[in-house]
Amino acid sequence: MSTDRAAISDLATNARAWPFEEARKVLKRVGNKTPDKGYVLFETGYGPSGLPHIGTFGEVVRTSMVRHAFECLSDIPTRLFCFSDDMDGLRKVPDNIPNRSMMTEYLGKPLTRIPDPFGDHESFGHHNNARLQQFLDNVGFDYEFQSSSDWYNSGRFDKALLKILEVYDQVMAIMLPSMGAERQQTYSPFLPICPKTGQVLYVPVVERNLDAGTIVYQEEDGSKTEVPVTGGHCKLQWKPDWGMRWYALGVDYEMSGKDLIDSVKLASRITKAMGARPPETLTYELFLDEAGEKISKSKGNGLSVEEWLSYAPQESLSLFMYQKPKAAKRLYFDVIPRMVDDYVSHVSRLPEESDDKRLENPAWHIHAGQTPNAFNDPSVSATRQLSFNMLLNLASVCNTEDPAVLWGFISRYAPGADAQSAPVLDSLIGYALAYYRDFVKPAKHYRPASEAEQAALEDLLGELAALPADSDGEAIQNRVYEVGKRHDYENLRDWFKALYEILLGQSQGPRIGSFFALYGLEESKKLITDALSRSQ
């Protein structure tokens, strides 16, 4: 396994993995040289009116993968900004916060100018920003947090805001066709912060003074008020704000969801109107629930990061995000076991693969080119042999939530393996038991065997009795196949489905031979005997 940077860079030039494809777009953009600002800037955005969600994780982890791919292609410095739109006005009081009645007094005010209802931060915006940073830190992302309020109030956006004032007519020409006739009458890219109430105002702008850097807006009573567009006295509507931010920061790369395609086009045109080049972008597909419906926070039909991490390691969620970002994927609890098994399979192969294969391996991108130490340990072979689904089924037939029970079977199947020598497997056992408790156990339903199935099971019992006690999974699997063929199963899948439903109480299951080897031949024969007794 090569660690030579030049060799990796050469391979990355032609690597087909999508992060490299995206990274090559960025490298071409900057002409393979360091931009004037001194670095290539990757950005992700966050609306801090609520708590971080699984989409936040997906966007940051995918952007981080592209950033690492770029760093393999070039030694140009990079930065990743996680930008919080905390200058936005509070539109409604969230349901899941304390002191909700107090919060109604602050509707319309910027999130960072509203008291924290939790009482532990300078403002509600600061509270949610802290939650975001804690979330990103816990996941281990390498990023720099940026606050919209800080940029507006410190004057760092002033130059760009004055530029928007200069090209105001062009911005209006870009934005107005995208909205209805009624909104066109009052629309302005600038939203003044009311000097009296501190609220973000959606009011028509009646005058602009480029020399003074001010706008004049009309109050509800017909009076007029002049305010600077700089220094935090105004903010921009979010689409012009996005384009202005790309201009001000010099953003080189940002991805966003399919629902923002039109917004990306408008923001890009605004950036161009300001005289700059919009960033390279990737549009990712949205997540769907089990029924194929778009996931929505308001519907509550999604799956949170916390929920996923209750049943599987973070890396399995990263794998879910890595796979086909431009394809819609169903995000629900049933996908977790497959993602865990696929992750373990990918990462276990890393130490043995050639460099060109490793750069196509999702685990290489998940771990930024490194193999986790736990997977370099020889004891990881036990983890490779035992799938997450296998652990679930072992917990199921044992009807246990005790890790020691599972380890009792595993240590016999893989001598020398225990919680200390195989920590990866031990953690997977904990996840599998939690998943079994919450999803498998409540849905278990054993069906009786038909007369024909009873005959096949009696035959299988005899085949297992004829095998040596230390038979491996392959030898057992062959006997299971033979029994299915002898009993006229035209499609052997039906035979295995019958075994799952009768023996395990579920419609799907593991490779039966491997499972019987893990569970033990004597125990497996008893499993069949008990099923036959239930079917009499």
The per-residue pLDDT string of the chain (536 residues; one tens digit each, 9 = 90 and over) reads 445 778 888 988 999 999 999 999 999 999 999 999 999 999 999 887 666 678 889 999 999 999 999 999 999 999 999 999 999 999 888 877 888 888 999 999 999 999 999 999 999 999 999 999 998 998 889 999 999 999 999 999 999 999 999 999 999 999 999 999 999 999 999 999 999 999 999 999 999 999 999 999 988 888 999 999 999 999 999 999 999 999 999 999 999 999 999 999 999 999 999 999 999 999 999 888 777 777 665 555 567 888 999 999 999 999 999 999 999 888 888 899 999 999 999 998 888 899 899 999 999 999 999 877 766 655 566 667 788 989 998 998 888 899 999 999 988 888 888 888 888 889 999 999 999 999 988 988 899 999 999 999 999 999 999 999 889 999 999 999 999 999 989 899 999 999 999 999 888 888 899 999 999 999 999 999 999 999 88
**In order of start, what are the domains of the chain with their CATH numbers?**
5-177+238-287 (3.40.50.620), 305-442 (no CATH), 451-535 (1.10.10.350)
Which residue has 């063929």 as its token pair?
485
What are the tens digits of pLDDT across the range 440-497?
889 888 999 999 999 999 999 999 999 998 899 999 999 999 999 999 898 999 999 9
Which H or E run includes 412? helix 403-413
The structure's pTM equals: 0.90
CB atoms within 10 A of CB 249: 20
CB 479 within 8 A of CB 463: yes
Of residues 156, 119, 143, the one with CA closest to residue 61: 143
Which residues share a beta bridge with 93?
none
Q: CA 261 to CA 173: how far, in whole Å?
A: 19
Q: Which residue has the tokens 């940051």?
A: 60
The CA–CA distances, whole Å, from 208 to 23, 164, 177, 216, 225 equal 41, 11, 21, 6, 12
Which segments within 69-136 are labelled E, that is strand? 78-84
Give the C-alpha separation, 14 to 21, whole Å. Answer: 9
